[in-house]
Amino acid sequence: MKIAIVGAGAIGGFLGTRLAATGVHQVSAVARGATLQALRTHGWRLQGSAGLLQAPAHAVQDPAELGPQDLVIIAVKGPALAAVAAQIAPLLGPATTVLPAMNGVPWWFCQGLAGPVAGRNLQSVDPGGHIAQAIPRDRVLGCVVHASTATPEPGLVRHVMGQGLIIGEPAGGSDALSSARVLAVQQALQQAGFDCTVSPQIQRDIWYKLWGNLTTNPVSALTGATVDRILADPLVRRFCTDAMDEARAIGARIGCPIEQTPAERHQITAKLGAFKTSMLQDAEAGRGLELDSIVAAVRELGSAVDCPTPTIDALFGLARLFGRVHGLYPEEPGTASP
C-alpha cells in the first residue's frame, strides 16, 4: 500500500518506522520543522529494547507532493486536527482509508451508536462540523493505540511499552470484522510487528481507554506527577474514582458499557509503574493540551444523555485554567465547554 503518516511524533513515528522497516509498503511522512528535517537527514528511527530500528523516510511538508494514498494515518494531537483536516485533501483518493491514531473521543464517534447521541456531531471536538466535512466519516477506520512512546528529540521515538492496536469499522456490526479494508490494514500492521486486533464495536474500545485517560492525563498535567503517584494518593485516587463513575454511567447510556469498577482499573494501571502520561509530556514540552477530546467530549455526551458530571466538570475547569495560564489551551471558550 501507499501509506502516509500525518504527524511523525511519538505515535506517528512509532507506526511509521515499523511499517517502513517491513519494506513492503511505500511509507511517507507529512511533517514540519525539526521533525521534517530529522526525517530527511536520518530517516525513520525507533529506539526500543532490541536497539535502534531505522528505515529510509520520504518526508514532505506539503501533502500535495505525495498525491492520493491507500491509507492515511493521522497521528497528531487533538488541537492540531482541524488544521490537518483542512490540508490533507490531496492525500484522499476515491478509495483512501483514514486511520486516526489519536487519544480521546474522535469526531466520528457517534456514527454507529444508537439512542440520543446517534449521529451526533460533537461540538467539543469538531465545532461546526468542519473536520467531518474534510474527512467524511465513511472513509474512517477507528483505531485505539495501547502503547507508550516518547520523543527524546525530533524524529527519534523511544518505545516504552506496549504494541497493541485495535481497529474497527465505525458503523460496527458483524460484517465489520471482515470488511476488505479492515483486513488489509490489520495485515499491514501485523506484518509490522503490532498486536493488531479487530473490534466489532470500536467505540467501546475507545471509551474504555478514555475511561483511564480521562483522569490520569489531566491530573498528571496539573500536578506533574507520574501515574503511580496519582494512584498512591488516597484523596486523588478517590477524585479519579468519582470521575470514572460518572463516565461509566455515561458509557452505559450511549451503548459503551464498562464492566470493570474504577478500583479494578486502578489495579491494572498501577502495574504499569511510574510513567508519564502523554498530556504530562505535552505540558512539560509546552505543547497544547488535548482537553477537548479527552474531557470536554465526555461532558458533552453526559449532557446529551442527562448524566450529571460534577467531578468531571471540576477536573475540566481546573485543567482548562492551568492550560490557559500556561498558554497551552485557548482563551476563547468552546461551544460545548463554557
Question: What would the DSSP string read from start to end of 125-183?
Answer: TSGGGHHHHHS-GGGB-EEEEEEEEEEEETTEEEEEEEEEEEEE-TT-SGGGGG-HHHH
Same domain assignment for residues 181 and 224: no
Same domain assignment for residues 29 and 169: yes
Report the domain count for the chain. Answer: 2
Tell me what pLDDT residue 175 has. Answer: 73
Low-confidence ranges of the chain (pLDDT < 50): 334-338
Tell me what pLDDT residue 332 has. Answer: 78
Cβ count within 10 A of residue 60 = 17
Active-site residue, from 2, 77, 209, 271: 209
Q: State the Cα–Cα distance between residues 209 and 242, nearest whole angstrom.
A: 17
Is 209 among the catalytic positions?
A: yes
Q: What angle do CA 297, 299, 302 make, to 5 degrees?
A: 110
Q: Give, for 324, the enclosing helix (H) or strand (E).
A: helix 310-325
Per-residue pLDDT of 209-241, as tens digits, reads 999 999 999 999 999 999 999 999 999 999 999
Same domain assignment for residues 152 and 53: yes
> For residue 112, what is the DSSP state?
T
Tell me what pLDDT residue 337 has. Answer: 39
- pTM of the predicted protein model: 0.94
Same domain assignment for residues 44 and 151: yes
Question: Is 334 within a domain?
Answer: no
Same domain assignment for residues 194 and 228: no
Question: Is 314 within a domain?
Answer: yes
Same domain assignment for residues 240 and 170: no
Same domain assignment for residues 208 and 191: no
Parent domain of 238: 204-325
Question: Is 336 within a domain?
Answer: no
Q: In the listed set 136, 169, 200, which residue is the last one of a domain according to the structure?
A: 200
Tell me what pLDDT residue 86 has. Answer: 95
Same domain assignment for residues 159 and 220: no
Residue 241 burial (C-beta neighbours within 10 Å; 0-12, 13-18, 19+): middle
Q: Which grid coordinates belong to 92?
A: 484522499
Same domain assignment for residues 173 and 246: no
Question: Is 171 within a domain?
Answer: yes
